[in-house]
A and B are shown apart, each in its own frame.
Chain A
Amino acid sequence: MNNKFCNPTNNEITQKSIDPEIKGNEEKEKWTAALIIAKELAEEKNTEIIKELNYYRNFFEISLDLFVTIGLDGIIADVNTATENALGLPRKKLIGKEFSTYVIESHKAQAGHQQIIREGAIVDHELNLKHINGTTTPFLFNASLYKDNEGKIIGVFAAGSDITTTRKAEDDLIHLKNNFTQLVKQRAEELIIVNEELAFQNEEKDKRAAELIIADKELAFQSEEKADRAAELIIADRELAFQSEEKADRAAELIIANKELAFQSEEKADRAAELIIANKELAFQNKEKDKRAAELVNANKKLAFQKDKIEEFNNQLEFRVMERTAELESLNKELEAFSYSISHDLKAPLRHIAGYVSLLLKKYGNLFPKEGEHYLDMISFSVENMGELIEGLLHLSRSSRIDMNKRFLNMNEIVDTLIQPVKEQEIDRKIEFKIEPMPLAFGDLEMMRSVWANLIENAVKFTRKKDLTKIVIGATENENEIIYYIKDNGVGFDMNYASKLFTVFQRLHLRKDYEGTGIGLATVQRVITRHGGKIWAESKVGEGATFYFSLINRKESEKTWN
């Protein structure tokens, strides 16, 4: 416990008192007596000092203000009772602690402490202290430096007084002041509004005054008008009197008009009667109309019936077509069976005849006289002949039976491949072929090849007796068809028989002059007909012949086939 500057001990005072040096015995007694006196005096003085100290300490303790001594390091050195009460802690716990820990504004407290050390004092420094129970109390501190006798700074002495009531009074004052300011502001605003209202009312007043002046003027004007109207009324009265007279006149006219009306009513009745008649007429016409309608319905029914009939006919027709088609199909099959029969059955016996004649000649030929041998030769020749006929007929029937595989054909190519072997075969003859460029044909390759083969064969055959054979092959084209032709400079034919040219087994020349079956041109005609074309020939005896055949033009056939 360090209280040496505020609570000095008796020893210290005693030591200071007996400091002077005592010299000699003589003076010893003197000095002893004096010492005794001095001691008595000192003791007396000490008692007084202690009394005084206690007296001041009491002041320190009983003060209602806080008294605190703080070291330069901020550590509490001593506190009074008021401080203990303010903080809720006994002195023992407070001494030796950092003072700012009990202050809410600890930084402000430390700054204040520094200011005291720097400037020597601080005045009216407001700080809130923390009580151990959590409450805070505002204090106003005044503090100054505490120095010893040599003037050395020992610490800070601070005194604080509770300003709770002052603070409350201040707050109330601020509150009152605020309220007052608010009230003044409000009143001022109200006054401004009242003023504005007053200004407006003044304006209105002025307006009304102006209006009153105008109203007065209007009233004056209306008075004048009234006078005018009165004058007009007089005139109007006169007019009314006049109109009453007019009314009487009109009444008379009305009577006349009524008579007219009565007459018109009679007319109306007449018209009504006419209308009744007209209505009757209309009714009659309506009936007629109904009748016609009924007739129309009948006619429609008849038409519908006829339509049904037509449909029925159509159906029958379709059925018949189907029937015929089926018949045709079966006929075709029969025909096929027939050709098969020819190829197999008819050819077989012929083959046998040929075979046995051959065997007969081979084995026993030397036994026959010359004439007998000739007969056998004739049998063989006839067999060969008949074989050719059968082959020709088979070809003919095949050309009208087999399915066509139509496509675009290069006629020049077909002709070229056909005349090449002819040239080789007839190497001894002078034959001049002139082949012109021809348009493409749309048809079956095999069939078209057989057409050209037959025609070329004929041309070569019937020019046999010419020294120089000239054969021209070409075509002409128009929008709908292409006409191909083959012209020779051969023996020609009589145009009187032209119609027989394409008939089966029909020959226009002697067999001994020009061999052939008479089936070739018939086959050609079949093929051309199946392609939708025509064939014909022009000739003069001895001047050659020209065969023509037409095919549907490529563009046309495209339309037809696509």
Chain B
Amino acid sequence: MELKTILYVDDNPLDIELTLEAIKENHILNPIIVANDGLEALEYLASNGVYKNRKPGNPSMVLLDLKMPRMDGLEFLAIVKKDENFKRIPIIMLTSSQEKNDLIKSYNLGINAYVVKPLNFLALINIIKQIIIFWTLINELPPE
């Protein structure tokens, strides 16, 4: 069985490293594509730029940070949710912001879940495990 791809969008290298560690801790073997901001994530989805020759198909889910250079999480959401080819991809916000406004805007733009990054690393490991298990194994994906 082919493992489903996860698109992870975050700009902070330390966060990326720790998150990938947390994934590794859970022995999750799904391929993880890391994009450093919204623009790069869009390039991946559309198979443009550096992703010109990638294997076709949408990722099974997107882990998305809010605050990023060039194109932030909300801008990325707005574009993806209007695109006929990408709008059904599950998107899970993974961010440190608990601002009411960020929550409202994100949900208005059609996200599927909103997860606040915990301070405690052990807690992060646990959360990552639950997210990925749910969205790649339990949840039925939309047909492409």
Contact = CB atoms under 8 A, between A and B. Distances in A.
Interface residues of A, number: 20
Given A340-B97, A340-B99, A343-B99, A351 B117 contact: yes
B26 interface: no
A347 B121 contact: no
Contact of A355 (B18, B67, B95): B18
Contacts of B122: 358
Contacts, number: 50
Contacts of A402: 100
B67 A359 contact: no
B interface bracket (residues with beta carbon within 8 Å of A)? 20 to 34
Interface string B30-68: 000000000000000000000000000000000000110
A17 to B, nearest CB: 161
Contacts of B3: none
Nearest to A339: B99
Interface in A314-367: 339-340, 343-344, 347-348, 350-352, 354-359
A264 to B, nearest CB: 105
B21 interface: yes
A180 B63 CA distance: 146
A358 B17 CA distance: 13
B15 A359 contact: no
A354 B119 contact: yes
B12 interface: yes
Contacts of B85: none
B12 A348 contact: yes
A351 B96 contact: yes
A402 B99 CA distance: 11
A437 to B, nearest CB: 34
Given A352-B15, A352-B18, A347 B96 contact: yes
A96 interface: no
B119 A347 contact: yes
Contacts of A359: 18, 21, 121
B96 A344 contact: yes
Given A348-B12, A348-B96, A358 B119 contact: no
A350 B15 contact: no
Given A344-B67, A355-B124, A350 B97 contact: no
Given A348-B14, A356-B18, A394-B98, 5 more contacts: A343-B99, A344-B95, A351-B15, A354-B121, A359-B121
Interface of B: 12, 14-15, 18, 21, 66-67, 95-100, 117-122, 124
20 contacts: A340-B97, A343-B98, A344-B66, A344-B95, A344-B96, A344-B97, A348-B96, A351-B18, A351-B96, A351-B117, A354-B121, A355-B121, A356-B18, A358-B121, A358-B122, A359-B18, A359-B121, A384-B119, A394-B98, A402-B100
The 10 closest A-B pairs by CB, nearest first: A358-B121, A355-B18, A355-B121, A387-B119, A352-B14, A347-B96, A344-B96, A344-B97, A351-B119, A343-B97
